[in-house]
Structure 1
Amino acid sequence: MKNLKFVLTLIFTLGAFSLSAQNGKIRGTAFERATGEGMWGVQVVIPSTGAGAVSDFDGKFEIEAAPGTYTIQATFVGYNSVTISEVVVKAGENTVIEAIWMEEAVSEIGEVVVTAEAIKTTDIALLTVKKKSSNLIDGISSQQIKRSGDSDVAGAIKRVPGVSIQGGQYVFVRGLGDRYTKTILNGMEVPGLDPDRNAIQIDIFPTNLIDNLVVYKTFTPDLSADFVGGTVNIETKDFPDEKTTSISFSTEYNPSMHFRNDYLTYNTGGTDFLGFDDGTRDLPFDGRNGDIALPITGDPEIETITRSFNPNMAAKTANSKPNVGLSISTGNQVDFKGLKLGYIGAINYSNTTTFYENAVDAAYVKPANNSQYELVADTRFTGPLGVNDVQLSGLAGISLKSDKNKYRVQAMHIQNGTSRAAYRTRVRSNNNFNTSYVDNLEYTERFLTNVLVAGEHYFNGNESSIEWKVSPTFATINDKDVRITPFTDDAGNITINAQEGGEANRIWRLLNETNYVAKVDFNQNFSLGGRESKLKVGASNIYKTRDYEIQSFGVGIRGNQNNLNLNGDADRLFAEENIWTPSRGTGVYMENNFNLSNSYEGRINIIGGYIMGELALSEKLKSIVGVRVEQYDQWYTGVNQAGANPNDPTGIVYNDDNVMSSFNFFPSVNLIYNVVENANIRASYSQTIARPSFKEKSTAEIQDVLTGRTFIGNIDLVETNVNNFDLRYEYFFGRGETISIGGFYKTFSNPIEMVRQSQAPNDLQPNNVGDATIAGFEFELRKSLNFITPALENLSFISNVTITDAKVDIDANEALGRENGLRTGENFSSTRSFVGQPPHIINAGLNYTDYEKFWEASLTYNVQGRTLAVVGINRTPD
């Protein structure tokens, strides 16, 4: 009998488990229409079965149901109920309702009825956030990124109004870049990956890891104060509402670049295809440990050191392969001891090849005779260039959520390797237009590792909340064994001539930067005159360190190089028979060109705090008022050119000295007037700041052997103070449609720009220049073409235009330089354009979406006006 009971119990248990396993789940999110935020406490039920759930603090809910088609209903006291029909549940699967919009009850409306298909669009969700945001924001959703087909953030972000990309890597908002535009990751600051810029290279972020991109165009005190053009927030994917697994493969073919037998490359490492060097290009000798003896000493160690360097110096031809890309991602959420456990994992790989059969790079100057107007080439490079770029990235994260708490841990690693090979003809006007033939081999590897640990906690009936984040980021950029070999043609005699064309060089450049960021925000909802308002206070700490060094080596030749039989072949430099030995007495040897002024270290610490209130002053007018305070400190370790020589009394040495310390208040006022239900007028004013980078506020003197230009740091730089004014009118039609028109105006005190030196135009130094102003106009339209004919309901037009006028006052030094470069009959204005500021940015596109057959197509267009890159002086033009 006991055995029979056991068998029957087992049968019923397995049966019940089987029935449960055949059920499906309805998951979704309830949003409050007035705020655009997830809504807590919404009752979501299936009236026909009685099954239901209550939304949590994120607005999330989950209902288990047997397979079938249902109608569900969402209710909350004082709000219109929402009924959603045609919700299909399948066995063992999750049906996701991305958004249920809850609106406060109006007497004429008691219920809103929609179908499940009508709410499946993240574009609408992003526009709702934009409509209700305290900031003036623009953005692009993952759905729109998918339509455009952009593979990295640099390609996607330029479709946002007023945003452009420079050099394929650097984001400009409203024409302002570098120090004036900030990029953050999940709301947290990350280090840049370029020693020459005060900005992060955003092409390193693949779009398949991204949830959305949001651009803040007005400052509020909960953002960092170094805010001028705008702040770009890259939000990585969180765990999904249903189990998803995606695998995609892509390939691209360009007949002018791929399957070309004349593609240039060189002998690379065995792991280049994974985006990093296997050690083939490692530095074999640490130049910081001391000089290499000269051959005249007969020291045998010279030969040993010379042989330790990779002998490959010349580019070679090979067959170029087409571009390939692979991405894999998976995610889900499951029940775990009464909690929701979510996870996500993603891997992205791309390998792209670019080939320019005749790349041209030239610098022009004005003729010495001021009656001549045509620019002449000072230096001109022409010739083939091959580039191979490999990127491998991964994202992994888990989240744990209860009714009142949510924890998130996420790690992301990105590695990128880029090799370049070129064989170029160089003509210089300053050496009688002699011709040189230059082999140029380069490799750059970039690494970025970011960890995010975050928590959210809700209490007092969800009227109060605390959100905290801790995020360390480790970044490295490593230029490994950059090789430049110039052969000069002197009346048919092809030699390496140090005086005419320069000697052969090999360079290693390393930057390590680490950011430690922590922040906490407290939110308290309260009633002001019976209207919902919010108080927000918070604090943050950002600590950065940077270590930068360059090691440079020259290739010397002892004796008559005609005996080496080089014949213009760079690879013969390190041929066995051409290396200097004590017995031979002639040949090639390595020279240590290490200069201490090329290296520096730095630290930055920023302690910030703020208080702000979102105050509903009337039914139509809301104000966001607050102030931020920041204590900024910067320390520097390094020497100037004279300080590199311990015997030079004019040398300046810094040893972890505090070179900048400031305490500032940053007020902000934003006003939002709700003209009608779907229309807002926004006005804002704020004070913000822009600060010099590690490299700029330094005594470093760094020469670029490729261009011949020398960067000279400026330890006396001061901060740039900025006043920001914004005005915008926006109207939301619904279903992701909107139109907006606005203007902005900014004033700059002590802006920082790169300026050429009067006596040495190839020397560039950051300076605080004259005061500047920027005035701009912005327009955006997203509209379905169904107003023309219902047949065009699925076709929509998207366009945004930004027009700017930026002026900088010319100071006395620049005025003198411009006067010296005037041609006969010319004059110059007391103002000029702002560096990097395009006069216009235009985006346009057509999107077609078939909601029934689930496919989309898009045609997009992007263009921007010419920009000033470097300010000219004397005969050197802008």
Structure 2
Amino acid sequence: MEDMGDEAMLAESAVPPPGFTGIHGRVTDEANGEGLIEATVKVVTGAQKQVLTDLDGFYRVALPPGKYDLRVFYDVYQGRRITGVIVNKGKATRLDVALGADEGAVQEVVVEARADRRAEGALLQERRKAAAVSDAISAQEIARTPDSSAGDAVKRVVSATVVDGRYVLLRGLGGRYSTTLLNGALLPSPEPDEPSVPLDIFPTNLLANLNVVKSYTPDLPGTFGGGTLLIETNSYPSEFEFKPRISLGGDSVTTFRERNSQRQGGFGEALGFPSSSRQLPNAIPRDSQLGASGESSEVLAQQYRSFPNIWQARRTTALPNMGLGVSVGDTLRFGNSRLGYLASANYGHRDGVQEGTFARASRDETDTLYAFESANNTQGFETASLSGLGSVGFQLDRDNELTWFGLYTRGTDTRTHTATANNLVRTERYESTRLQFVSRQLFFNQLRGFHRLGLLGDAELDWQANVSRVDRDEPDTRDTLYSSNFNVPGALPTFPNQPNSGERFFAELGETSTGGTVNLTLPLSAVKLKAGGLAQVSFRDFNARRFRYILGNTPVDRTLPPEQLFAPENLGTGITVRDSTRADDAYDAYLGVFSGYVSADTQPLEALRLVGGLRLESSHQVLTLKDPFTGAADTENRADYANLLPALNAIYALTPTVNLRAGYSYTLARPTFRELAPFIYFDFVRRRNVSGNPDLEQTRIHNVDARVEWFAGENEVLAASAFYKRFVNPIERVINNPEAQDLTYRNAAGADTYGLELEARASLGRLTESLRDVRVGANLTLIQSEVDLGDNVVGAQTNRRRPLQGQSPYVINLNVGYQRPGSGTEFTVLYNVYGPRISEVGVQRLPDVYERPFHRLDISVAQQLGSAQLKLTAANLLNSSVTLRQDSVVVQSYKPGVAFSASLGWSL
């Protein structure tokens, strides 16, 4: 491609604004009518200007009235020269150009004519040629939605649902059954209690696409159940671009209303950096329990007083949400070599309110289920996020390319809970408060290489090496609880001197992961052979400290609010601070995964393609409980596995645009560090403990897939899929203490899952030309699952037959979009709903807890304003509620509210 010059620009819209003077149109491939991305349209006579086409092949170039000659060209296509194009004042001259392939450049297509994977049409073409069953959403499609993060966007993919706005479930399966790869590399999770990577750490403007692989191939990691989510980030642009962006938003339950907040913090926390005042005070010993070294009462009192005396929730006015972003990139050319770069930075700040109810159920003497404890819960939260992306690529020649990619994301989450509850069994009323602050950060660095070796049939070698670090810090979470007898008129709430009241909790988690992959492809005459390997090791360290305020022998007024009750003058006299850190509050963990594979891609018949292979994957998992103070190792839990993972995919092309697919694989799912660790975590909202199980075993999974798909047009597809999965030893979250409803994890004997997926994307121009600018899309997933509990059911689960925990029986996505010619306006309506799914498995006659369907309706309107674009969105217009039910008892319910946002972005 020729150099662009200083006046080069990237076309932004298919339709020029009113009053536009110049030339506009579309550049397409004359063979199939598909738009050519970043083709060059150059004015060669009458002016000196040129532009690039956009993701759909559209362009526009502003010119004064006159007569012009143009040249249109694109890599590996024959260029065209168009002469005598007339431009009149105040009018847009339409010029569409179709280019034919340059037959002499066919061999260059492999390297030079790479598809822009940000475009919907390019992803569909890649899907048509893929070896496995897969679904994807492109940056082009994401831009039409109100979605602000990957966690929001991925739910638009067929059969994908999202829990808590962060964790993806694929085909109703999440956690250990859904692996996330970033640019081909495994990502660790910064959450101690969730095996999934939280997708809200990835802003949508960093994404090129989200691709979900649903049938297994041996070149993927062996942890595969619902599917593998491939996150691909933006790469450097072909020409210079500078894109600033600003957004404002809010919702109906938060913005400009009072919310719970904390007095602690500062300007740094608004940027995503925790305040030093939250950390464990320097006066508190690190190498021993508080008071274990024979300190005097005076020294102990000073240590007690070193903690900040902040316990109560404050009220503040919630401000609108804000987002800022900027990206800059370019490609520099040096003869046959290219050097490209992209840098992007994003900042976001959000206030929120969550007001609702929660309850705990039991059965009375008549075996009737009732809520023995019910509460009103109010949560105010403030989140801040900061992220940066950098990418540099150097293409030495058509056969060698190196790319460095770096990502840094961090964020803070400040949450203030207050609740008022009534316990009918104890005739007590509780008033509780939790002040919580969590910071997370992710460093990710990757170096990738591609080399065409020029031997063994023009073999190709690609590789990547990565190192990442995730950290999660939860400093000084504070819980208080006051109680009173509601049968006693005028009774004042008092400090009960019991666990989970007057407690401080500190926790730090860090995980370092490093490794790489290598793949060698041999394109032989009758078969394409591929072989490679993976090595990935992860090291996790977790430490927690717990402190509890206890009443002493000196009487104190237990009705005082906590900041008066725990005042410095009471500490060391009427109240002491006990170090209640448990022996299992610290652990180290190691996971090493090493694998090699070989696969063959052959075409025994013109219409039949077979892709099969075998992966050998071994894993070594060690979890070591250690002394929280000295770090000395205590109990060690080891799990070593070596697994053979066969896979076969068959693709039969009925026509060039219609595929029949079938596949089988045998994969695995490992228990996570958190699920193995006996560490206990207290769930404040539901007031129960969550603990791990060191005896968990890995899960093995048989996967069978079938699909028929018709790629009817450039951005059109019709598809129907069926799948079956057989789980051996699936891991589930279950209630292990009916009275307290504490949670743990257990292996069931087995489970079966059956599913059907239907998908359609089309333009209504197929019905009538007047509707050619209206596009519609719909997908439906129907799933049925059943758990085999086996003969020896530990924990006496209530239901012998039930669906797999976390499995939704249906998922529906609908969208309708309209792009109005002549105005640069785009309008999109989206709808999403998932069916009821088991959140927690009930035991000892208590029913399973189900999360009820959530109906979400969103609208997005985008308006082109010259080089800028204004986007207005509204989400959850139905104002649906998040509801968990345990038969007739509503366990938890709250409304997230209707959310609105406005963003303005420029492309300069």
TM-score, normalised relative to structure 2? 0.80
Q: Quick check: 1:629 aligned with 2:616?
A: yes
Range that drifts further, 358-367 or 187-196: 358-367
Q: Quick check: 1:443 aligned with 2:437?
A: yes
Kindly tell me: are residues 32 and 752 of structure 1, through their superposed partners in 2, closer, same or farther at Cα, counting changes over 3 Å?
farther
Confirm or deny: 8 A CA contact 2:442 2:469 kept in the other structure. yes
2:803 maps to amino acid: S
Task: Give per-residue Cα distances to partners, 1:84-138, cap 9 Å, x unaligned.
Answer: 97999xxxxxxxx999896999xxxxxxxxxxxx999811001001111111110
C-alpha distance in 2 between matches for 1:772 and 1:722: 9
2:688 maps to amino acid: R
**2:327 alignment partner, one of 318, 326, 329:** 329
Q: Quick check: 1:541 aligned with 2:542?
A: no
Give the match for residue 373 of structure 2: 379
Confirm or deny: 8 A CA contact 1:351 1:388 kept in the other structure. yes
Confirm or deny: 8 A CA contact 1:72 1:87 kept in the other structure. no
**1:840 alignment partner, one of 799, 806, 810:** 810
Confirm or deny: 8 A CA contact 1:30 1:102 kept in the other structure. no
C-alpha distance in 2 between matches for 1:774 and 1:615: 31
C-alpha distance in 2 between matches for 1:672 and 1:104: 28
Give the match for residue 835 of structure 2: 865
Give the match for residue 168 of structure 2: 171
Kindly tell me: are residues 788 and 389 of structure 1, through their superposed partners in 2, closer, same or farther at Cα, counting changes over 3 Å?
same
Confirm or deny: 8 A CA contact 1:517 1:540 kept in the other structure. yes
Query: Superposition pairs for residues 104-253 of structure 1, below 5 Å?
Result: 122-253=119-250
Confirm or deny: 8 A CA contact 2:552 2:575 kept in the other structure. yes
Count of matched residue positions in the alignment of Structure 1 and Structure 2: 782
**1:806 alignment partner, one of 770, 782, 785:** 785
Task: Give per-residue Cα distances to partners, 1:169-197, cap 9 Å, x unaligned.
Answer: 11000001011111111110010121112
- SS of the residue aligned with 2:205? helix
**How far has the Cα of 1:816 moved from its partner?**
7.8
C-alpha distance in 2 between matches for 1:224 and 1:101: 40
Kindly tell me: are residues 311 and 340 of structure 1, through their superposed partners in 2, closer, same or farther at Cα, counting changes over 3 Å?
same
Give the match for residue 589 of structure 2: 602
Confirm or deny: 8 A CA contact 2:289 2:629 kept in the other structure. no
**1:570 alignment partner, one of 550, 562, 567:** 562
Task: Give per-residue Cα distances to partners, 1:130-150, cap 9 Å, x unaligned.
Answer: 111111110100011111131
**How far has the Cα of 1:495 moved from its partner?**
1.4
Confirm or deny: 8 A CA contact 2:585 2:628 kept in the other structure. no
Confirm or deny: 8 A CA contact 2:495 2:559 kept in the other structure. no
C-alpha distance in 2 between matches for 1:98 and 1:125: 19
Gaps of 5+ in 1: 1-18, 50-65, 89-96, 106-117, 581-585, 647-652, 820-827
C-alpha distance in 1 between matches for 2:534 and 2:140: 32
Range that drifts further, 285-294 or 212-221: 285-294
C-alpha distance in 2 between matches for 1:377 and 1:99: 69
1:739 maps to amino acid: L
Range that drifts further, 509-518 or 361-370: 361-370
- SS of the residue aligned with 1:786? helix
Kindly tell me: are residues 368 and 337 of structure 1, through their superposed partners in 2, closer, same or farther at Cα, counting changes over 3 Å?
farther
Q: Quick check: 1:557 aligned with 2:536?
A: no
Q: Quick check: 1:340 aligned with 2:341?
A: no
Query: Superposition pairs for residues 496-535 of structure 1, below 5 Å?
Result: 496-499=495-498, 502-528=500-526, 533-535=527-529
4+ long deviations beyond 6 Å:
25-34, 43-49, 81-88, 97-101, 118-121, 294-297, 643-646
Confirm or deny: 8 A CA contact 2:797 2:841 kept in the other structure. no
2:552 maps to amino acid: R
Give the match for residue 471 of structure 1: 466
Task: Give per-residue Cα distances to partners, 1:215-269, cap 9 Å, x unaligned.
Answer: 1001000000111110001111100112111111111133431112455443323
Kindly tell me: are residues 662 and 86 of structure 1, through their superposed partners in 2, closer, same or farther at Cα, counting changes over 3 Å?
farther
Task: Give per-residue Cα distances to partners, 1:484-518, cap 9 Å, x unaligned.
Answer: 1111124413211124x853111011111111121
Task: Give per-residue Cα distances to partners, 1:721-746, cap 9 Å, x unaligned.
Answer: 11000000000111200100110000
- Over aligned residues, Cα RMSD in angstroms? 3.7
C-alpha distance in 2 between matches for 1:610 and 1:267: 53
Confirm or deny: 8 A CA contact 2:733 2:840 kept in the other structure. yes
Range that drifts further, 232-241 or 554-563: 554-563
Give the match for residue 788 of structure 1: 767
Give the number of the structure with larger relative contact order, counting CA–CA contacts within 8 Å between residues 6 or more apart. 2
- SS of the residue aligned with 2:653? strand
**How far has the Cα of 1:535 moved from its partner?**
1.3
Confirm or deny: 8 A CA contact 2:284 2:303 kept in the other structure. no
- SS of the residue aligned with 1:268? coil
Confirm or deny: 8 A CA contact 2:284 2:290 kept in the other structure. no
2:323 maps to amino acid: G
Confirm or deny: 8 A CA contact 1:683 1:726 kept in the other structure. yes
Range that drifts further, 625-634 or 361-370: 361-370
Larger Rg: 1
**How far has the Cα of 1:459 moved from its partner?**
2.9
Give the match for residue 428 of structure 1: 423
C-alpha distance in 1 between matches for 2:240 and 2:681: 52
1:569 maps to amino acid: P
Task: Give per-residue Cα distances to partners, 1:687-723, cap 9 Å, x unaligned.
Answer: 1001111122344444546644333432222211110
2:516 maps to amino acid: A
**How far has the Cα of 1:452 moved from its partner?**
0.9
Give the match for residue 459 of structure 1: 453
1:617 maps to amino acid: P
2:458 maps to amino acid: E
2:705 maps to amino acid: D
**How far has the Cα of 1:339 moved from its partner?**
2.0
C-alpha distance in 1 between matches for 2:606 and 2:633: 58
1:72 maps to amino acid: F
TM-score, normalised relative to structure 1? 0.82
C-alpha distance in 2 between matches for 1:100 and 1:541: 45
Give the match for residue 353 of structure 1: 351
C-alpha distance in 1 between matches for 2:289 and 2:123: 60
1:69 maps to amino acid: L
Give the match for residue 70 of structure 2: 69
C-alpha distance in 2 between matches for 1:295 and 1:589: 16
- SS of the residue aligned with 1:302? helix
Task: Give per-residue Cα distances to partners, 1:609-646, cap 9 Å, x unaligned.
Answer: 1111111111100000111111111122116xxx9999
Task: Give per-residue Cα distances to partners, 1:721-780, cap 9 Å, x unaligned.
Answer: 110000000001112001001100000111111233368763433221121100000000
Kindly tell me: are residues 619 and 82 of structure 1, through their superposed partners in 2, closer, same or farther at Cα, counting changes over 3 Å?
farther
C-alpha distance in 2 between matches for 1:103 and 1:172: 45
Kindly tell me: are residues 469 and 99 of structure 1, through their superposed partners in 2, closer, same or farther at Cα, counting changes over 3 Å?
farther
2:831 maps to amino acid: Y
Kindly tell me: are residues 863 and 708 of structure 1, through their superposed partners in 2, closer, same or farther at Cα, counting changes over 3 Å?
same
Confirm or deny: 8 A CA contact 1:98 1:119 kept in the other structure. no
Q: Quick check: 1:413 aligned with 2:405?
A: no
C-alpha distance in 2 between matches for 1:735 and 1:854: 21
Range that drifts further, 796-805 or 240-249: 240-249
2:566 maps to amino acid: F
- SS of the residue aligned with 1:797? strand
**1:271 alignment partner, one of 258, 268, 271:** 268
Kindly tell me: are residues 783 and 337 of structure 1, through their superposed partners in 2, closer, same or farther at Cα, counting changes over 3 Å?
closer
Give the match for residue 482 of structure 2: 487
Instruction: Please state which structure has a larger fraction of its residues in helix.
Output: 1
| Sequence identity (%) | 28
Query: Superposition pairs for residues 661-672 of structure 1, below 5 Å?
Result: 661-672=640-651
C-alpha distance in 1 between matches for 2:4 and 2:609: 49
Q: Quick check: 1:735 aligned with 2:734?
A: no
- SS of the residue aligned with 2:169? strand
C-alpha distance in 1 between matches for 2:790 and 2:416: 42
Give the match for residue 748 of structure 1: 727
